[in-house]
Amino acid sequence: MSYPRIFVTGLGLITPVGLDAKSSWNNLIGGVSGIDYISAFDAEGFETRIAAEVKNFSPGDFMDAKKARRMDRFAQFAMVASQEAAAQAQLDMAKLDPTRVITIIGSGIGGLITLSEQFQVLKDKGPTRVSPFLIPMMLPDMASGNVSMGIGTKGPNFCTTSSCSSGAEAIGTAWNMLRNGDADIALAGGTEAPICPIAVAGFNSCQALSRRNDDPKSASRPFDAQRDGFVMGEGSGVLVLETEESVRRRGVPVIAELIGYGASSDAYHVTQPAPGGEGGARAMRLALRAAGIQPNEIEYINAHGTSTPLNDKFETMGIKAVFGDLAPHIPISSTKSMTGHLLGAAAAIEAAISVLALQNGVIPPTVNYRNPDSECDLDYVPNEARIRPLRTAMSNALGFGGHNSSLIFRQPGEMT
């Protein structure tokens, strides 16, 4: 069966290192870390007191202030990233059939900040004082819903929730829907705003977070022998995906082509990846098969690379299983070393970063890589960005619950 080609025509980012794609990218290739001491709440007494927060963010700078107050922070981030992506893609809904534009924004947790705040209101002031906006602010699908309302899309509109793979699943699902003819254009990505007391306490309880409080900037150190856990982050990444026919009809420039998507389940453990990275390896192989390319055509991998002992070890093993003797020669980086781990937004942000790497011919570094690990012995682009023309890039995501996803992008080349 022949499928239409699917292109990226816009992308938007709001991250711990920038309020838009340009500033985020420049800081990432400059090796700038967005990790610092938590300012969102008083973290005294917590085992972890650091996070990668979005700084200097005022939602009223990007959207109607009244509407912003009725959105949780995670939905606000999705709106900002989506608006940037839509602007770059030159989306004018008045000139489009809005029923042919879909919106899929993944989130692993949804409006946790609002939920936790309203629990406190219930405790302190009683049930009649709970906000009437609690439910529409906490639901994970309300980022997608608000983006649809804000931009005016009327095609299918929903949320993917698959832990740290949520953003990749949103992009992969949109890709499949466009290829199957369900729509012409998609806004797809992920968003998360989890930095609140209950989330930090919960992740500490399951031994997932770094406790390197004495030096926040160096706390996230993927693939380093002294890694001790991930650093929680927040933000959003959104891509505009579009069929070739739609691109031609609208006459807009393309940034990259999405050529492959694969997903798998470990069926192993609620938090730990399957031994040997077997599930992640299957997702990578499925993405390669969907793309119709060979392993030797992958020139860069943006790894999941969480800075946890098991993830980085098993992801390395999974890459070796798929790429064999080629694995040591493929540049691999984990931008979580700078952004922290954005949970349900991570894979979408890293997909956008992979697209930017293709577009700019620059591979972002894995910062804080100082102590080699004999079990993580590949080329992790340590500490400094690398200038290298790229044709094809893979972006991996591995989530709690055994969710694995892999996306493959390449230079757009000539239209058929």
Q: What is the 3-state secondary structure (H, E, C) of the chain?
A: CCCCCEEEEEEEEEECCECCHHHHHHHHHCCCCCCEECCCCCCCCCCCCEEECCCCCCHHHCCCHHHHHCCCHHHHHHHHHHHHHHHHCCCCHHHCCHHHEEEEEECCCCCHHHHHHHHHHHHHHCHHHCCCCHHHHHCCCHHHHHHHHHHCCCCCEECCCECECHHHHHHHHHHHHHHCCCCCEEEEEEEECCCCHHHHHHHHHCCCECCCCCCHHHCCCCCCCCCCCECEECEEEEEEEEEHHHHHHHCCCCCEEEEEEEEEECCCCCCCCCHHHHHHHHHHHHHHHHHCCCHHHCCEEECCCCCCHHHHHHHHHHHHHHHHHHHHHCCEECCHHHHCECHHHHHHHHHHHHHHHHHHCEECCECCCCCCECCECCCCCECCCEECCCCEEEEEEEECCCEEEEEEEECCCCCC
What pLDDT sits at residue 267?
A: 86
Cα Rg of the chain (Å, integer): 20
What pLDDT sits at residue 287?
A: 98
Inter-residue contact 219 to 339 (CB < 8 Å): no
Catalytic residue annotation: 164, 304, 341
Sign, CA torsion 349/360/29/391: positive
Distance, CA of 287 to CA of 201 (rounded, Å): 36
Number of C-beta neighbours around residue 371 at 10 A: 11
What pLDDT sits at residue 416?
A: 67
Q: Looking at domain 7-250, which of 3.40.47.10, 3.40.50.2300, 3.30.565.10, 3.40.50.300 is its CATH number?
A: 3.40.47.10
Number of C-beta neighbours around residue 415 at 10 A: 10
The CA-CA-CA angle for residues 345, 346, 352, to 5°, reads 95
What pLDDT sits at residue 329?
A: 98
Q: Bridge partners of 36? A: 51
Inter-residue contact 62 to 80 (CB < 8 Å): yes
Distance, CA of 405 to CA of 254 (rounded, Å): 24
What pLDDT sits at residue 414?
A: 73
Q: Where along the chain do its domains lie?
A: 7-250, 259-410
Positions of the chain with pLDDT under 70: 1, 415-416
Global pTM reads 0.97
CB contact set of 165 (below 8 Å; sequence gap of 6+): 263, 347, 397, 398, 399, 403, 404, 405
What pLDDT sits at residue 273?
A: 81
Residues 148-196: pLDDT tens digits? 999 999 999 999 999 999 999 999 999 999 999 999 999 999 999 999 9
What pLDDT sits at residue 394?
A: 98
Q: Do domains 7-250 and 259-410 have the same CATH topology?
A: yes
Distance, CA of 56 to CA of 12 (rounded, Å): 17
Tell me, which fold does domain 259-410 have in CATH?
Answer: Peroxisomal Thiolase; Chain A, domain 1 (3.40.47)
CB contact set of 58 (below 8 Å; sequence gap of 6+): none
Sign, CA torsion 49/53/58/60: negative
